[in-house]
């Protein structure tokens, strides 16, 4: 009998998929949109070739915030990230600025893979899709003044 209980518990935990179950007989776990957005933003920035994230307006606002004494010197981890989180799944939209010379299809594939792996591993949510919009290309003009990445 003990082995049946263990098998049921193993199935309930979702060990066959490698993801933890968020809804069990013992209670529910919810993951906030902001948590998924932070994980996705950090995971996207980890990929070489991503210079910044966000649309032009978001990046301009972020640059102003970085200059203020109360603002940080790094962009918000959620800049350029929009998520929709359900009970067990998530959809993620990313706005990227890529470095000149980087293959956009290869970069998109790497970003998508890293974001899915990080979000699924850390939250237990299933990521349905990661939509990537490349909004700009960063040209390294050799000016070290604006050389701060991501």
Span 14-41, average pLDDT: 81
The single residue listed with the structure tokens 């799944």 is 89
Domain ranges of the chain: 31-139
* The pLDDT of residue 68: 61
Largest CA distance in the chain: 70
Residues 31-139: name the CATH superfamily. Answer: Cation efflux protein, cytoplasmic domain (3.30.70.1350)
For the chain, helix, strand, coil in percent to 5 are 40, 25, 35
The single residue listed with the structure tokens 């604006």 is 146
pLDDT tens for residues 82-141?
A: 999 998 999 999 999 999 999 999 999 999 999 999 999 999 999 999 999 999 999 987
C-beta of residue 77 within 8 angstroms of C-beta of residue 83: no
C-beta of residue 76 within 8 angstroms of C-beta of residue 40: no
């Amino acid at each position: 009998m003990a082995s049946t209980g263990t098998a049921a518990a193993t199935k309930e935990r979702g060990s066959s998929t490698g993801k933890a179950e968020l809804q069990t007989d013992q209670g529910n776990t919810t993951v906030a949109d902001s948590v998924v957005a932070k994980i996705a933003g950090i995971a996207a920035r980890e990929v070489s070739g991503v210079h910044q994230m966000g649309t032009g307006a978001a990046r301009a606002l972020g640059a102003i915030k970085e200059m203020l004494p109360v603002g940080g010197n790094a962009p918000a981890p959620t800049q350029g990230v929009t998520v929709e989180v359900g009970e067990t799944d998530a959809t993620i939209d990313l706005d990227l600025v890529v470095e000149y010379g980087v293959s956009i299809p290869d970069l998109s594939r790497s970003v998508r893979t890293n974001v899915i792996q990080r979000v699924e591993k850390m939250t237990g949510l299933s990521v349905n899709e990661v939509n990537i919009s490349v909004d700009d290309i960063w040209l390294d003009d050799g000016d070290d003044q604006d050389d701060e990445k991501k």
